[in-house]
Amino acid sequence: MAIKTVNPETQRIKLERKERVILEAARAVFVEHGFDGARMQEIARRAGIGEGTIYSYYESKAELMLSVLQQFWDGLTLEAEGVMASVQAPDFFGGLRALAQYHLNTVILNSDFINLTFALRRNNSEVSVSRDHLRHYVAVFDRLFLRGQDRGELRADAILWQARDVFYGSLEYSARSIEMTMEAERSAREQGPVVEDMVALFRSHYGAVQTTEAGDHATVELLSSKLDQLSEKFDALAKRLS
């Protein structure tokens, strides 16, 4: 009977499910022991398959790690987009605060994965993969920033990638610092101030100028030339009077 004929999708689905199982086991082991500490044998055991089977799905341990990282970054991107969508206040700085909060938290929780993303870069030639995933992730910030510029909340001459570097770079570095000091001295250095300072920094450096006092070079020169003109008129008047 034709009904008995297995749907051609079935096998593919089964393979995909097994791939997911491998990926899940790999992720757990990598998180638990790091890249070098992870044993392929343990990954196979946790996935309930033979060690050799992994190699019919992934070329090498590094490629497996890369797939895990891929999945990881995709997850982050989705989460970040979710955070941005759920922000009530639709203004730039509100969005920035939410994104900064989310990112800082994420980076602290998954610092090992973040590091591995860059540590693996040199060895493997398939660099472009992780590069694309980074790009997708930071695109969340890019959209927020460009919308802020469109709305006039940000200076029109602000350069996107410089702002992006400041945003992600500072938060990443802060996360490392927090992690370090947290271990030793459980001192100050909370997350809150870091996020607030980031918002304040964007407000003062990239925020649109409210009054003329923060005017750009052009306005200053305009004033200067007007003063010069006035001074000349004054001199002319004084000469006539004398």
Interface residues toward a copy of itself, by CB under 8 A: 34, 36-37, 112, 115-116, 118-119, 121-123, 131, 159, 161-162, 165-166, 168-174, 176-177, 180, 189, 193-194, 197, 200-201, 204-205, 209, 211-217, 219-224, 226-231, 233-235, 237-238, 240-242
From the list a copy of itself, DNA, none, partner contacted by residue 53 (C-beta under 5 to 8 A by kind) = DNA
Looking at the DSSP bridge assignments, the partners of residue 154 are 207
DSSP for 8-72? HHHHHHHHHHHHHHHHHHHHHHHHHHHHHH--HHHHHHHHTS-HHHHTTT-SSHHHHHHHHHHHH
6 versus 85: smaller Cβ distance to DNA: 6
* From a copy of itself, DNA, none, interface partner of 5 (C-beta below 5 to 8 A by class): DNA
- Give the nearer residue to a copy of itself in terms of CB position, either 47 or 138: 138
- Tell me which DSSP letter residue 209 carries: P
Residue 39 interaction partner, one of DNA, a copy of itself, none, beta carbon < 5-8 Å per kind: DNA
Of the CA atoms within 13 Å of residue 94, those in its CB half-sphere come to 9
From DNA, a copy of itself, none, interface partner of 40 (C-beta below 5 to 8 A by class): DNA
How far is 182 from 188, CA to CA, in rounded Å?
Answer: 9
Tally the residues of the chain: 242
Q: Considering the complex, what minimum distance in angstroms separates the CB of residue 6 from a copy of itself?
A: 44
174 binds, among a copy of itself, DNA, none (CB under 5 to 8 A by kind): a copy of itself
Which of 54, 107 has the CB closer to a copy of itself? 107
Residues 81, 142: contact at Cβ < 8 Å? no
Task: List residues binding DNA (CB under 7 A).
Answer: 5-6, 10-11, 15, 18, 38-41, 49-53, 55-57, 60-62
Q: How far apart are CA 111 and CA 198, in angstroms?
A: 20
Measured CA to CA, the distance from residue 22 to residue 57 in angstroms comes to 9
